[in-house]
Amino acid sequence: MYLRRLVYLILIATCTFSISAQGRKQYIVLDPGTELYLFPEKKSEVLRKLSFGEILSSENQKEADSKFQLLTDKDGLTGWVDSRALFRMGSKGSYPVITKAIEKLLYQDSGPNELESVFTYLTKIEEGPIFQGNEYLFLKIRRLVVLQRYSEVLQSPEYRSKSRQKLEDLLKNNPTELAVYSKTGNWTDTLSNAPEGSKLKVRPETFWKVAEAYPNSKPGDFAAYLAVKYTPEIRCGRDPICVLQDEENRRLKYLLLQPNGNYAPIFSTHLEKRLLHFSKDKETLVCDTKLPKESGLKNFRNKVQELPSRYGKKFYSKLKVIEEECLKK
């Protein structure tokens, strides 16, 4: 009799725990540095600060409509959190909300701690039940944008004197994604003895690699746009061969990967205007360059030929003028 009763109590306890676990509501933190309070008021003792993307749970079965939520972190610490810093998971897709929160932090006056928190979150996410397919890829691309912004803030006059070690660690931990770019256009792998004015930046190849892996796709289009944005433009002056080489590595490269992309009309128009600048007046076109003329012109023409014909109509007539003037005997 006693044994039967004991088994019955264990079954009841197990079922109760299962129902409780299933009934837990989960919340994600969207504001890095949000406080976990001992009591539901901002004058209360702060138990700890929360990170961006941190998941907290609530066993309250009723939807709490108040300024604070009583929540528990992964280590079992329970406290009160400002409701405005949270998003209830499961009520709808979390991707748009998280993306909007990241964009807000990127373009407002966020400090290094906030950006580091977002970068850490995006580094840890894995493709799975929460983020799949394009959503996962977009977040991984945004991770690189956050890394770029984070490094910029660390190098700003406000934080530069205190952030040398942070920058060294960032470069050490992300060697394939970060490098030091000098004003002369060279990339190096170390901050030591870097020329004055050098900056730690995300390597453009990192964006191009993603763009090349997903051509003719929305994530690939976004990555290719960012690749153009973060690939430094060469100062060519009036050297047409230099301009062709620069465009070949930036806007023309985008068009080859994304001929129907969102940014294709903008980039093709800009490229056309740049070619027109040299071809509109033969008399002022001086093909004075130290770069190899024939190979430079041939490479550019071959790549233009790979584009849809509508681009050929925009580029060929301008390119022909440059070829005629630069290949004169």
Burial 94-105 (b: 16+ CB within 10 A, else e): bbeebeebbeeb
- The DSSP output letter for 51 is P
Question: What pLDDT, in 10s, does the model give residues 134-174?
Answer: 999 999 999 999 999 999 999 999 999 899 999 999 999 99
| pLDDT given for residue 94 in this prediction | 87
| pLDDT given for residue 16 in this prediction | 35
| pLDDT given for residue 64 in this prediction | 55
Q: Which residue has the tokens 């301009």?
A: 243
Of 70, 135, 57, nearest to 102 by C-alpha is 135
Residue 70 binned pLDDT confidence (cut-offs 50, 70, 90): very high
| pLDDT given for residue 10 in this prediction | 37
Average pLDDT, the chain: 88
Of 208, 151, 137, 207, nearest to 180 by C-alpha is 151
CB 200 within 8 A of CB 167: yes
| pLDDT given for residue 9 in this prediction | 35
**Of the listed ranges 49-53, 200-204, 279-283, the one predicted with least confidence:** 279-283
Question: What pLDDT, in 10s, does the model give residues 240-264?
Answer: 999 999 999 999 999 999 999 999 9
